[in-house]
Structure 1
Amino acid sequence: MMNPLLIIWASLRQYRFSALAFVLLIAAGTSLSVAIISQERALRTGSARAADRFDLVVAAPGSRTDALLTSVFLQPGSARLLSPEMTARLLNDPNAAFVSPLAFGDSIRGTPVVGVTASLVDHLSDGLAEGRLFLSRQEAVIGSASPLSVGQKFRPAHGVHSQDAPEDDDHDAGGHAHAETHDIALTVVGRMKPTGSPWDRAVTIPVEVVWDAHGLPPGHPEGSTQIGPPFDPARTPGIPAAVVHSRTVASAYKLRQAYTTNDSMAFFPAEALIQLYSVVGDVRQLMSILAVITQALVLLAIVSSVLILLRLLMPQFVTLRALGAPRLYVFAAAWGFMAALVLVGVAIGLVGGYALSFGISLWLSNRTGIALTPSLGEAEILIGLSILAIGLVLALVPASRLQRRPLAEAIAKY
């Protein structure tokens, strides 16, 4: 029995450049479709994981999305402040396991410096990877990806800048002035475990330090060096937001209800994420449409390539028939040639799509601080299988035409 694989291999070698172009065309289209779907899912999963440890956020009335981006994802914003009275009531609420205020406005080497309480740091990190929590107003804890190191001293700078001055130098090597730094030196005493969120790059310091550095009441009686709760209602400034950790799910809902008022809003970050996803729903639909369009272009390219390859293969397979090769053999050889190209193209496309999504995720993670982990899910595999199935069906066209065409007519033409 004749083996069509020998003819398939010989054809692939003879038309290797045309075959390579066909494979790369299928691979490119498949990769784009796979990467689009995979990346959208990675963004959703990564953002949800980043917000997972934030039970409840309380902020001034306004946009929950803005408050979410500021408090959980540490994006710069200009949110309204809770009133000092509401802030003091919230920070001293006995119904919460802990309430940590958030204070922004400073940075070090382009990364945010956030004023918080030690309880929030311990909760987000679930224990430190190195060192200990801050115990005084001269200490800080860094995120897992911070360029600072335990034991290092630094001075936070006002605002967000790409580079800040070291503790004892207000100018760089070229003599240019650095960003305005606060007149306080802090020592890094601990490093958090990875959280998969922008907090991995942040530097956390006692909130009292931020308040005092910006000329606000430090939350405690004058002359006190205390940090953390309880906060003095008479000396507590307004804050942009606070993170509330509850003891039970039921108490979380009660706290949300208690602080959903005309003067404050309370929300679960997961709820705000759903709202955010709905806002960008059009983008997701656009990405899905782009994936469909890409697949359609791939299929169109397959049809065009099949017709071109048919012209290339016709003389060879006509010769086989003239030499007495059975029609089924010619059919198997022609179909196998096309099928091999489609199979290899789809396989490379799946791998390439994952690699492309991985590269995009790495770039976005570096930009946003959110840990993104792309993967090949059922949707991506289904895309690959659909392109493969349609390609294999289309490969039947030239194979059927080659073995059905009258030999005399084929010889006369080719």
Structure 2
Amino acid sequence: MIRFILADLRKYWLGSAVVVLIVALAVALGVAVTLQERALRLGSARAADKFDLVIGAAGSENQLVLSSVFLQASPLPLMDGRVLTQLASDPRVAWAAPIGFGDSFMGYPIVGTTTALVNNLADGLAEGKVFAREGEAVIGASVALKLGDQIKPMHGAAEEGGHTHAELAYRVAGRLKPTGTAWDRAVLVPIQAVWHIHGMGHHDEAEVERNHDAHGEAAEAHEHHAADPDATISETWDADVPGLPAILVKPKSIADAYKLRQQYRAGTTLAVFPAEVLTRLYATLGDAKRVLFAVATGSQGLVAASVLLVTVMHVGQRRRQIGALRALGAPRRALFSIVWLELFVLVAMGLAAGFALGYAAALAVSGMVASGSGVSIPVNFARDDIGFAVALLAFAALISSVPAVLAYRQSPASALRG
């Protein structure tokens, strides 16, 4: 029986290949959607795990998390710098790290922060040391620079009229170990250097605001406040801390985290747990997944119908062959098994190829997302996928039985007369 099926498949290899390809493409769409949605959830959740609490100015929770945790370029409103002073002296806070955005280098975001964040972001440094002066920088694991390289910060994008700051060039002093987050593509510098480059700090901040255009791009003013690359940094905050877009906070306990969140969710500030914000984003992502999966299921249904039609026509064209086999003494059960197994093998091959294609497509998309965002997007099969594969195989067995039943019911005489 097996040799008969193999000979039949070799004879009709082109039609068999088309059936396998059609089934594979239909299945690959559903598999890719499922794997990619799961990978995005897992990757973003892992990236947010490193940050317990984010505090910023009142506004959009989603934008606060996307900008501060995932480093998506978008202007955030500034909150009063005294919030950092309060958090630094709060006994419920293990550490609080301010962050400042706005500049970049070769597409890598430059983030102003403190040594507290650098020391707690990754499991130590892969090489070099933490910055100690305003002219030093620590780069993420995926930044294509080496120790000692110079970094000239650019405000805004070059294609949008951005300008390079001439006041200061950072020198790479250290490199972080991989974190699997967007911070692997970041350049971390002292927050004081960012303030000085943008004319902020111990002077009239209202004057600084007047030097910003509608897009928040700072003018090249206040050169007398430019950073000194050899100036050592101090992380003792006073009342003159300038406005901040966000502060990353590590509470000492879960209870402290909820108390801080409640305290800073009133008035002009906003405090969020990144995991909570991601949960709401996942709900939106889940809705999109259901729509795409419905489309994939519909395409699989159409493919199943077309494959069934083709195989029924194929059985009809082979009526004489089936009749000859019956006349030579082949039992009906053998004919049923041959026709059923031949179609089932084709569909099963299509299912296997579809899972492989879907996995490859999800890997390709995850690679593009990871290269652009820096967030590691792991693509893996889960236990639920086994159930999905078994359901598809059961459906394949069911549709394969339709032409097999037609062959089973044919009598030798009628088949030979046809």
Give the corresponding residue for 1:267.
Answer: 272
Cα deviation, residue 280, structure 1: 3.8
Q: Which runs of 5+ in 2 are unaligned?
A: 204-224
Match of 1:64 in 2: 61
Give the C-alpha shift of residue 153 in structure 1: 1.6
- 2:96 corresponds to which residue? 99
Report SS of the residue matched to 1:150: coil
The aligned counterpart of 2:379 is: 374
Q: What SS does the corresponding residue of 1:37 show, helix, strand or coil?
A: helix
Residue 365 of structure 2 corresponds to which residue in structure 1?
360
- Which residue number corresponds to residue 407 of structure 1? 412
Q: 1:229 aligns with which of 226, 235, 238?
A: 235
Instruction: Confirm or deny: 8 A CA contact 1:141 1:190 kept in the other structure.
Output: yes
Contact 2:323/2:412 (8 A) holds in 1: yes
**323, 337, 342: which is aligned to 1:318?**
323
The equivalent residue for 1:76 is 73
In the TM superposition, 1:15-94 aligns within 5 A as 15-94=12-91
Cα deviation, residue 94, structure 1: 4.0
| TM-score when normalising by structure 2 | 0.89
Counterpart of 1:395 in 2: which secondary structure?
helix
The whole-number CA distance in structure 2 between the counterparts of 1:24 and 1:281 is 29
Deviations 1:137-168 (A, max 9, x none): 111000000011111122111124489xxxxx
- For residues 121-270 of structure 1, the aligned pairs below 5 Å read 121-161=118-158, 179-217=163-201, 225-233=231-239, 235-270=240-275
**How far apart, in 2, do the equivalents of 1:178 and 1:84 lie?**
26
> Could you tell me which amino acid in structure 2 is paired with residue 100 of structure 1?
A
Secondary structure at 2:130 match in 1: coil
CA separation of 1:294 and 1:364: change in aligned 2, threshold 3 A: farther
Question: CA, structure 1 residues 361+314, in 2 after alignment: closer, same or farther (shift >3 Å)?
Answer: farther
Cα separation, 1, equivalents of 2:192 and 2:310: 69
Give 1:276 shift. 1.8
The amino acid that maps onto 1:230 is T
8 Å CA contact 1:34, 1:383 repeated in 2: no
SS in 2 for 1:141: strand
- Percent identity over the alignment is 38
Using the size of structure 1 for normalisation, the TM-score is: 0.90
Unaligned runs of 5+ in 1: 164-176
Higher mean displacement: 383-392 or 269-278:
383-392
C-alpha distance in 2, partners of 1:218/1:76?
27
1:274–1:183 distance in 2 versus 1, CA, 3 Å: same
Question: Aligned letter for 2:294?
Answer: I
Aligned partner of 2:297 in structure 1 is 292
3-state SS of paired residue (2:171): strand
- CA deviations over 1:370-396 (Å, ceiling 9, x no partner): 111111223333332222211111111
Residue 41 of structure 1 and its aligned partner are, at CA, apart by 0.5
**1:344 offset after TM fit, Å?**
1.2
Query: What residue identity is the alignment partner of 2:22?
Result: L
Deviations 1:84-127 (A, max 9, x none): 33343234434311111110010001110000001101211121
In the alignment, is the contact (CA less than 8 A) between 2:56 and 2:269 conserved in 1?
yes
Q: CA–CA distance in 2 between the matches of 1:218 and 1:291?
A: 59
Distance 1:284 1:92 in 2: 45
Deviates more, 1:111-120 or 1:331-340: 331-340
Say if 1:206 and 1:228, in contact at 8 Å, map to a contact too.
Answer: no
**Contact (CA 8 Å) 1:109, 1:161: kept in 2 or not?**
no
Counterparts of 2:232 and 2:153 in 1: how far apart (Å)? 20
Separation of aligned partners in 1, 2:288 and 2:276: 19
Distance 1:205 1:372 in 2: 26
User: 1:389 maps to which residue?
Assistant: 394
CA distance in 2, matches of 1:379, 1:110: 39
Partner residue in 1 for 2:222: none
What residue number does 1:166 align with? none
Q: Deviations over 1:216-269 (max 9, x none)?
A: 0069xx999452421121x21011111001222222222212212212111111
- The structural deviation recorded for 1:277 is 1.9
Provide the rounded CA distance (Å) in 1 between the counterparts of 2:146 and 2:8.
61
Q: Distance in 2 between matches of 1:44 and 1:265?
A: 24
Q: Which moved more, 1:189-198 or 1:91-100?
A: 91-100
Q: Are 1:131 and 1:189, in contact at CA under 8 Å, matched by a contact in 2?
A: yes
Once structures 1 and 2 are overlaid, which stretch shifts more, 248-257 or 223-232? 223-232
**1:112 corresponding residue in structure 2:** 109
**What is the aligned-residue RMSD (CA, Å)?**
2.2
Offset, 1:406: 1.8
How far apart in 2 are the matches of 1:248 and 1:97? 9
